[in-house]
Amino acid sequence: MEKALWYLFTATRGGANRVRVVRSLAERPKNANRLAEELDIAYTTARHHLDMLRDHDVVERSDEDYAALFFLTDRFERNRDAFENIAQHVETDE
């Protein structure tokens, strides 16, 4: 998974926003609208980042269609140290 994390957060545009998404979800699960508001990004941008993170097994969503909550996966949590190391190389506006 570490290679996927390097790719997601350093090798593609939007890595800094994805770091912010992960850090926000680490505080508590949220839906895409809440994330967009909290991070001051467009809803479609939040959904794009969530979709990328889902594709790489970083986040998962609840079964609800409307206002589905997003959570960090157990697999990601097992690789949290690698994420924190990688996140140090990413500039965010935090």
Q: Where are the domains of the chain?
A: 2-87
Q: What is the pLDDT of residues 41-52, one digit of tens each?
A: 999 999 999 999
Q: Which two tokens stand for residue 67?
A: 């206002």
For the chain, list the strands marked E by DSSP: 30-31, 59-61, 69-72
CATH for 2-87 is: 1.10.10.10
Q: Taking the complete model, does pTM exceed 0.85, yes or no?
A: yes
**How confident is the model at residue 18, as a pLDDT?**
97
The 59-61 sheet, strands edge to edge:
30-31, 69-72, 59-61
| 55-89 pLDDT tens trace | 999 999 998 777 899 999 999 999 999 999 999 98
C-alpha dihedral over 13, 15, 21, 25, to 10 degrees? 140
